[in-house]
Amino acid sequence: MTLIIAHRGSAGTHPENTMDAFIAAKKFGADGIELDVHLTLDDQIVVIHDETIDRTTNGTGNVKDFTLEELKKLKANYHYKHFFKKASKIPSLREVFEWLDKNKLICNIELKNNSIPYEGMEKKVIDLIKEFKLEDRIIISSFNHKSLKNVKQLAKNIETAPLYKNLIYKPWEYAESIQASGIHPKFTVMTPALISDTLKNNMAVRPYTVNKEREMKKLMELNCTAIITDFPEKAFKVRDTLNDKNVSVQ
């Protein structure tokens, strides 16, 4: 069964990378969530996608120039297209882990250190994972593949997967070279044959960001390990329909 990982939570229906979006993803039937992390001025791990706070909050400036307490005062749904009476806040990774501790969801953590080289980010994230004993439910991904190598040197038992958006020849071989056990490609660069060959070589395939029903259906029929989507509710319904059809055929 193809797993459903909610991209930045249920980002298509709720303010991205907020507890509102993560809670909605669980409610909609997602098997896991994907989130992005940066380091604050006081070296706290904070969940937000961009290097700046401009796009998703009512503030301006770089994430790294604010303390966690200062970031917590911002509205994280300030620019969001849907109206929410309650102001969403930027969560810390610790806050998300406290919530994950009460459920069984998978969590894909994207290290956003490809533009800003946050010193010690990998160790801080790993230490928090170990504190909550979430090693078997975490996948760490990044466009910074050197950072993923650092993760494996620090914690061999935590799964890693490189993110990429251009075609890679024999991606399973590349992933193995950095000790990863999965790949997170942009879905448009993966052909059915490439997906099949990667899976045959015991490498997990989790394409991003899959938002159209026809693409969800196609990837699920190819038995992708997971899809990463802004619309987990839609993906759940597609998977449910496919499962019903398979039961009928049997």
Catalytic residue among 7, 38, 145, 184: 7
Catalytic residue among 14, 38, 49, 184: 49
Q: Are 236 and 3 in contact (CB under 8 A)?
A: no
DSSP label at residue 188: G
Catalytic site includes residue 49: yes
Catalytic site includes residue 14: no
User: What distance lies between CA 222 and its chain's CA centroid?
Assistant: 21
Q: What angle do CA 48, 20, 239 make, to 5 degrees?
A: 100
Distance CA(8)–CA(114), nearest Å, equals 18
> Among candidates 29, 15, 24, 25, which has minimal Cα distance to 86?
15
Q: Are 9 and 209 in contact (CB under 8 A)?
A: no
The residues annotated as belonging to the active site are 7, 49
